[in-house]
Structure 1
Amino acid sequence: MNDAETKWKSTALLVIGMQKDFILPSSPVHLRGAEAIVPNVVKAVEVARSRGVHIIWVVREHDSSGRDAELFRRHLYSDDKPKPVCKGTIGAEILDELVVQECDYKLVKTRFSAFFNTNLDSYLKGLGVDNLVIIGIQTPNCIRQTTFDAVCYDYPIVAVIIDATAAATLDIHQANIFDMKKIKVATPTLEEWCAE
């Protein structure tokens, strides 16, 4: 196995929050700016797959009562309106453009960080992963919290592909990317990452 193959075998791509309720404009929790990154997320997954990178789909799924959601979100589950990302609903599904394969792993979370109250760290360590590449939505919440926790867990290489992640506005996105750079997180564009 050459150096490149070794590198990619010890790398995981975390695809965060690419669910219909967050991306489709008809949803009450639609993230403005999310649709624009879908082609780059699709491409990043394709490139990762071709390299033998482990692909982990990180999704939110809540109880229909919202009792497992953060306190500030529970009002979204208190009336007869459609409830976002409830387990088993169409809105909780990953976008149709993104194909989950049998060899991939799906991680369900109920908070911003993919590490919070999940088995992500032990799963990654079991695979021998020490390099993380993070894509998806949204930059100030799930992307940022997962990235900062990855740094806290001492993953030696953490990268956020800056044009395969998004926030509600470009200013919010850029401010959070700036903060991540300050803690030595790599911030390549998709083109730069594909050229590695």
Structure 2
Amino acid sequence: MAAKWNHTALLVIDMQNDFILDDSPMRVAGGKAIVPNVIKAVEIARQRGILVVWVVREHDPLGRDVEVFRRHLYSKGKVGPTSKGSAGAELVDGLVMKEGDYKVVKTRFSAFFATHLHSFLKTEGIQDLVVIGVQTPNCIRQTVFDAVALDYPSVSVILDATAAATPDIHQANVFDMKNIGVATPTLQEWSELCKQA
């Protein structure tokens, strides 16, 4: 394994049933299509010794820690989306946390907002971030913008392992991220890069 990959983390964002499955009220339309590429990206990361960080939403079942605009989805007698311990909060089939992976729970869009992610990554010696998951205009974009603001030297978003409600929304947000210096390789391009010493 190349030593440089020891300083890289793969952030897998919100690949949970409530964001991917067809019958979910929080479903991201483009999410299901990227599942195979997300699985492959995780496999590549593990092969290269890249730290895999699972960033997930887990909310209080009563919605007491959810954004104001989503509180209507949590009512008495009804479990809201990605409630802690619910089937909707679980990773989609094919994605499994393994020993050595790390889990970060967030309650807002950015993986850095009100979490210990930054301090954990610094403790682990992580300098470079690769981001995959859903969805591009919200959790992906805000996490990436925060990573740039926190001066991570290299931030990448794998184009075909991230998704939004529509391809146009996805591309518009990718354009904005490119404009702040974020790399946007395809999975194939990133895979080839990972083979380099």
TM class, shorter-chain normalised?
over 0.9
- Matched with 2:108 is 111
Please list the CA deviations of residues 86-131 of structure 1 after superposition, one character each: whole Å capped at 9, or x if unmatched.
Answer: 0000100011201210110010000000000000000000110000
- Confirm whether residue 154 of structure 1 aligns to residue 151 of structure 2: yes
Give the residue type in structure 2 aligned to 1:180. Answer: M
1:61 to 58, 61, 64: 58
Structure 1 residue 77, shift from structure 2 partner = 0.5
2:91 to 84, 90, 94: 94
- Confirm whether residue 24 of structure 1 aligns to residue 44 of structure 2: no
SS at match of 1:143: helix
Please list the CA deviations of residues 137-179 of structure 1 after superposition, one character each: whole Å capped at 9, or x if unmatched.
Answer: 0000000000000000000000000100000000000000000
- Matched with 2:73 is 76
Please list the CA deviations of residues 72-94 of structure 1 after superposition, one character each: whole Å capped at 9, or x if unmatched.
Answer: 11111025444100000010001
With the length of structure 1 as denominator, give the TM-score of the two structures.
0.96
1:166 to 159, 163, 168: 163
With the length of structure 2 as denominator, give the TM-score of the two structures.
0.96
Give the residue type in structure 1 aligned to 2:188. Answer: E
- Matched with 2:10 is 13
Work out the percentage of aligned pairs sharing the same amino acid.
66
CA RMSD of aligned residues (A): 1.0
Q: How many residues align?
A: 193
Unpaired runs of 5+ in structure 2?
Answer: none
CA distance in 1, matches of 2:163, 2:183: 16
Structure 1 residue runs of 4+, over 6 Å off?
none
CA distance in 2, matches of 1:26, 1:72: 21
- Confirm whether residue 133 of structure 1 aligns to residue 130 of structure 2: yes
- Confirm whether residue 177 of structure 1 aligns to residue 167 of structure 2: no
